[in-house]
Amino acid sequence: AQSVTQPDIHITVSEGASLELRCNYSYGATPYLFWYVQSPGQGLQLLLKYFSGDTLVQGIKGFEAEFKRSQSSFNLRKPSVHWSDAAEYFCAVGAVQAGTALIFGKGTTLSVSS
């Protein structure tokens, strides 16, 4: 079955500290992997994506993610968190073919403490 697991429902990080949000997936075909961020009352904004090539991808706002095929993981990282990073983060997997569904994880809520 196709699925995305984000094991951490809620994470609190101190401002300036590093962050890692976990994502594991199960997908039958070659996966396209995405991280989206959702601020309260807002839509989904793409942080970064992986299609092929270099397994370490850079995104907006200083985020990066590493694709590890052997572990079926696509963890999101940021070396130094800012208070404005507080939001909900969704990992998603999809197929190469356009028009197919993106499968989302349940999300991880990030809180940033001062």
Partner 1 sequence: EPEVTQTPSHQVTQMGQEVILRCVPISNHLYFYWYRQILGQKVEFLVSFYNNEISEKSEIFDDQFSVERPDGSNFTLKIRSTKLEDSAMYFCASSDGGTANTGELFFGEGSRLTVL
- The CA distance from 6 to 87, in Å, is 15
Give the residue with the Cβ less far from partner 1, 69 or 106.
106
CB atoms within 10 A of CB 15: 14
Instruction: Answer for the pair 37, 108: CB distance below 8 angstroms, yes or no.
Output: no
Take residue 19 and report the two structure tokens written for it. Answer: 């962050």
Q: Under the criterion CB under 8 A, does residue 45 sit at the interface with partner 1? A: yes
Contact flag: residue 51 with partner 1 (CB under 8 A): yes
The reply to whether 77 sits near partner 1 by the rule CB under 8 A is no
Out of 13, 23, 25, 32, name the contact with partner 1 by CB under 8 A.
32
In degrees and rounded to multiples of 5, residue 69 shows phi and psi of -65, -40
90 binds partner 1 (CB under 8 A): yes
Interface with partner 1 by CB under 8 A: which residues?
32, 34, 36, 42-46, 49, 51, 90, 92, 94-96, 98-107
